[in-house]
Amino acid sequence: EAQVTQNPRYLITVTGKKLTVTCSQNMNHEYMSWYRQDPGLGLRQIYYSMNVEVTDKGDVPEGYKVSRKEKRNFPLILESPSPNQTSLYFCAIYGGMGYGYTFGSGTRLTVV
């Protein structure tokens, strides 16, 4: 069974302090993605990756960076977090037909 592990689950940080949210999968899926979810705005895609060293912007990439140096890991980097990046973040993999997306448990980030 596909699993996506995100860390940390909860994080409170201050404006401007660089942080990384890690994401790893236990499968060998090529596609990985990051979403943020805010009340009333639904799930919005930040970045996605089609394979190692292949990443692309989603709908709301500003203020975020990602890297895909190996297939299993897809960290989300906030170089200089701001309060408007306070949100619930999800990492996901896509397994294709019959499996769809598998999401991580989420990371609740608060930037003060």
Partner 1 sequence: LAKTTQPISMDSYEGQEVNITCSHNNIATNDYITWYQQFPSQGPRFIIQGYKTKVTNEVASLFIPADRKSSTLSLPRVSLSDTAVYYCLVGPRGKNYGQNFVFGPGTRLSVLP
Residues at the interface with partner 1 (CB under 8 A): 4, 29-31, 33, 35, 42-43, 45, 48, 50, 56, 58, 88, 90, 92-106, 108
Beta-carbon contacts of 75 under 8 Å, excluding residues fewer than 6 positions away, are 20, 21, 22, 23, 66, 67
Q: How far apart are CA 45 and CA 62, in angstroms?
A: 11
- The amino acid occupying position 38 is D
Residue nearer to partner 1 on the CB measure, 3 or 84? 3
Rounded to a whole number of angstroms, the minimum distance from the CB of residue 42 to partner 1 is: 5
Rounded to a whole number of angstroms, the minimum distance from the CB of residue 86 to partner 1 is: 14
Rounded to a whole number of angstroms, the minimum distance from the CB of residue 16 to partner 1 is: 27
Residue nearer to partner 1 on the CB measure, 70 or 79? 70
Residue nearer to partner 1 on the CB measure, 97 or 112? 97
10 token code pair: 């909860």
Query: CA angle, 106 as apex, 30 and 75 as ends, to 5°?
Result: 45
